Amino acid sequence: MARTPADLVGTRTGPSFEITFGDRPVPARPGQSVAAALWGAGILAWRTTRSGGRPRGAFCGIGQCYDCLATINGQPNRRACLVPAHPGDVVVTQEGHGHASLG
Amino acid sequence: MRPSAEPPTAPDLYDLAVIGAGCAGLSGAVTASELGLSVALLDASPQIGGQFFRHPAPATGAARPEALHHDWSLFTGLRRRLEASAVDLLGGHHVWSVVREGGLWAVHAVTGADGGEERAVRVRARAVLLATGAYERQLPFPGWTLPGVVGAGGAQAMLKSGLVLPGRRVVVAGSGPLLLAVAASLAAAGARVPAVIEASGYLGYARHPYALAANPHKLTEAAVHGGALLRHRVRLRTRTAVTEVHGTDRVEAVTVSRLDRDWRLVPGSGRRIACDALAVGHGLAPQIDLATTLGCATRTTPDRTTALVLDTSQETSVRDLWAAGEPGGVGGARLADVEGELAGLAIAARLRGHPARRGRVRELERRRDRMRAFADAMAAAHAPGTGWPQWLADDTEVCRCEEVTTQSVRAAVTDLGARDARTVKLFTRAGMGWCQGRMCGAAVTCLAAQHGSAEALAEPAPERRPFAVPVPLRALGSLDDPAPAPQTVTTD
Q: ipTM for the complex?
A: 0.96
Question: Which domain range does residue A31 map to?
Answer: 15-96
CATH number at residue A44: 3.10.20.440
Q: Would you list the DSSP string of B354-401?
A: S---HHHHHHHHHHHHHHHHHHHHHHHHTPPPTTGGGG--TT-EEETT
> What was the pLDDT predicted at B456?
41
A77 occurs within a structural domain: yes
Contact A61 B157 (CB under 8 A): yes
Task: Measure in Å the smallest separation between the Cα of B354 and chain A Cα atoms.
Answer: 40
Residues 155-184 of chain B whose Cβ lies under 8 A from any Cβ of chain A = 155-159, 161-166
Q: How far apart are CA B428 and CA B485, in angstroms?
A: 28
> What was the pLDDT predicted at B457?
45
Give me the residue from B44, B64, B435 closest to A9, CB to CB.
B64
> What was the pLDDT predicted at A2?
54
> What was the pLDDT predicted at B354?
78
Which of A8, A49, A83 should be substituted to probe chain B, the one whose Cβ sees the most B Cβ atoms within 10 Å?
A: A8
CA of residue B469 relative to chain centroid, distance: 15
> What was the pLDDT predicted at B461?
56
pLDDT at A87 over 70: yes
Task: Measure in Å the smallest separation between the Cα of A44 and chain B Cα atoms.
Answer: 6
- Residues in chain B closer than 8 A to A61 (CB atoms): 150-151, 153-158
A83 occurs within a structural domain: yes
A9 occurs within a structural domain: no
B483 in contact with chain A, both atoms CB, cutoff 8 A:
no
Which of A1, A65, A72, A91 should be substituted to probe chain B, the one whose Cβ sees the most B Cβ atoms within 10 Å?
A: A65
The three-state (H, E, C) secondary structure of B244-305, written as one string: EEECCCCCCEEEEEEECCCCCECCCCCEEEECCEEEEEECEEECCHHHHHCCCCEEECCCCC
Which of B60, B178, B288 should be substituted to probe chain A, the one whose Cβ sees the most A Cβ atoms within 10 Å?
A: B60
If one counts every other C-beta atom within 10 angstroms of the C-beta of residue B223, the result is 10
A66 occurs within a structural domain: yes
Q: How far apart are CA B387 and CA B390, in angstroms?
A: 6
B214 three-state secondary structure? coil
> What was the pLDDT predicted at B472?
82
> What was the pLDDT predicted at B490?
44
A44 occurs within a structural domain: yes
Q: How far apart are CA B185 and CA B62, in angstroms?
A: 16
> What was the pLDDT predicted at B230?
86
A28 occurs within a structural domain: yes
Q: How far apart are CA B166 and CA B19, in angstroms?
A: 30
DSSP H/E element including B123: strand B120-130
Per-residue pLDDT of chain B (492 residues; tens, 9 = 90+): 765 545 445 678 999 999 999 999 999 999 999 999 999 999 999 999 999 999 998 888 889 999 998 899 999 999 999 999 999 999 999 999 999 998 999 999 999 998 877 688 999 999 999 999 999 999 999 999 999 999 999 999 999 999 999 999 999 999 999 999 999 999 999 999 999 999 998 777 777 888 878 888 887 788 888 888 888 889 999 999 999 999 999 999 999 999 999 999 999 999 999 999 999 999 999 999 999 999 999 999 999 999 999 999 999 999 999 999 999 999 999 999 999 999 999 999 999 987 878 999 999 999 999 999 999 999 999 999 999 999 999 999 999 999 999 999 999 999 999 988 999 999 999 999 999 999 999 999 999 987 544 444 444 455 677 788 888 888 888 776 544 444 444 444
Residues 33-92 of chain A whose Cβ lies under 8 A from any Cβ of chain B = 33, 35-37, 39-40, 44-45, 49-52, 54-67, 69, 75, 78-79, 81-84
Q: Would you list the DSSP string of B395-420?
A: T-EEETTTTEEHHHHHHHHHTT---S
Domain total for chain A?
1
User: For residue B123, which of B34, B38, B28 has the smallest C-alpha distance?
Assistant: B38
Alpha-carbon distance values, B1 to A101, B81, B85 (Å):
45, 9, 5
> What was the pLDDT predicted at B10?
62
Give me the residue from B147, B166, B401 closest to A55, CB to CB.
B147
Domains and CATH numbers, chain B: 2-135+285-378 (3.50.50.60), 138-282 (3.50.50.60), 388-452 (1.10.10.1100)
Q: How far apart are CA B406 and CA B426, in angstroms?
A: 15
Interface size A-B, in CB pairs within 8 Å, comes to: 167
> What was the pLDDT predicted at B454?
41
pLDDT cut 90: percent of chain A above it = 82
- Residues in chain A closer than 8 A to B165 (CB atoms): 5, 39
CA of residue A8 relative to chain centroid, distance: 23
> What was the pLDDT predicted at B487?
44
> What was the pLDDT predicted at B6?
52
B67 in contact with chain A, both atoms CB, cutoff 8 A:
yes
